[in-house]
Amino acid sequence: MQAFYSQSALYSAFFEPSEEIRGSIDRLVRRHLRRAPRRVLDPACGPGLWLEHFQRAGAEVAGCDLEERAIALAAKRLPKRGSKVLVGDMRRPPDELGTDFDCAINLDNSVGHLADYMDVAEHLASIRRRLSPRGVYLLGLALREDGDTIDAGVVFERGPVDVAGGGFAALRTESLGLQPTTRCERIRQIAITANVPDTPAVIAEQYDLLTFTFAMLRDVLAAAGGFEVLGCHDATDESLPEKAFRKSAGDVVLVLRAGAVRARAARGSAKKRPASRRR
């Protein structure tokens, strides 16, 4: 697991959702539910930034994450009434989190951290079981075909920023491009901190994130029991504009609902993404 994710105060300092992305997500959810969500699940919730957003709007929230420190911070951040956060794996979120969620959210290609497509199918099947019949899953992932490329370069750079609890830090994340055999995107990241309690001065790490061909995505959606793709949005722009659901669409947020797989490719040419809002 990535060392950076265990530094939850640091994660929060860099990735607190902006007002713009909060507004975009709220609009998406309301469009498909026709109301604000009542029960929200984040199966890789980190320190609970999105859960906090939905809880403030009146929803009951639940989440899990592999990182104990992230869950400890989420538990501190979220008022106990109406929230449940536990250490757990997104492949099979703990049963105690409950079911009947009308919204699940998992952005920023967190699902790309899973080891393989079997894990992704297991994850999607778990979420499907936990959603209410009209419930939606907002899932961030990367659509890349064999032969696609990603230019190597900086995808996120921020800081120095103040860190809650003391100290300050800067973060730089680079993409090293798609690995030809695995088609994973290789990410390299360096965080530098000063006077942040219980935190190393430098965290430097490299990891690979799964990407999906269109055919693979169809297969995992079907293997999970079936999801309809209600919407596809450009994840590199915080206004989350609609994007053609097609091969090589890049970093997207999909809106899924349990149902027969209806994931036809839309026509249109691939838009090259700006490298701004990728983690």
Ligand X SMILES: C[S@@+](CC[C@H](N)C(=O)[O-])C[C@H]1O[C@@H](n2cnc3c(N)ncnc32)[C@H](O)[C@@H]1O
Contact residues for ligand X, defined by CB under 6 A: 1, 5, 15, 42, 44-46, 49-50, 64-67, 70, 89-91, 107-108, 110, 113-114, 279
- Helices 68-77/8-15 angle, 10° precision: 60
Of 42 and 238, nearer to ligand X (C-beta) is 42
* Residue 270 C-beta: closest distance to ligand X, Å: 24
Strand partners, 190: 172, 204
Cis peptide before 79 (omega within 30 of 0): no
* Residue 260 C-beta: closest distance to ligand X, Å: 27
Strand partners, 252: 141, 234
Handedness of CA 14, 29, 54, 43 (dihedral sign): negative
Of 145 and 185, nearer to ligand X (C-beta) is 185
Of 131 and 235, nearer to ligand X (C-beta) is 235
Of 246 and 279, nearer to ligand X (C-beta) is 279
Of 187 and 261, nearer to ligand X (C-beta) is 187
* Residue 229 C-beta: closest distance to ligand X, Å: 21
Of 68 and 100, nearer to ligand X (C-beta) is 68
* Residue 192 C-beta: closest distance to ligand X, Å: 19
Strand partners, 169: 161, 193
What single DSSP character describes residue 257? Answer: E
* Residue 123 C-beta: closest distance to ligand X, Å: 8
Q: SS3 for 176?
A: strand
Q: CA-CA-CA-CA torsion for 115, 107, 105, 160, nearest 10 degrees?
A: 120
Pairwise CA distance, residues 46 & 225, whole Å: 27
Pairwise CA distance, residues 83 & 64, whole Å: 11
Residue nearest ligand X (C-beta atom): 46
Could you identify the residue written with the tokens 């957003």? 53
Of 171 and 261, nearer to ligand X (C-beta) is 171
Q: Which tokens hold the place of 155?
A: 């995808």
Please answer whether residues 40 and 98 qualify as being in contact, where contact means their C-beta atoms are separated by less than 8 angstroms.
no
What values do phi and psi take at 176, rounded to 5?
-100, 10
* Residue 108 C-beta: closest distance to ligand X, Å: 4
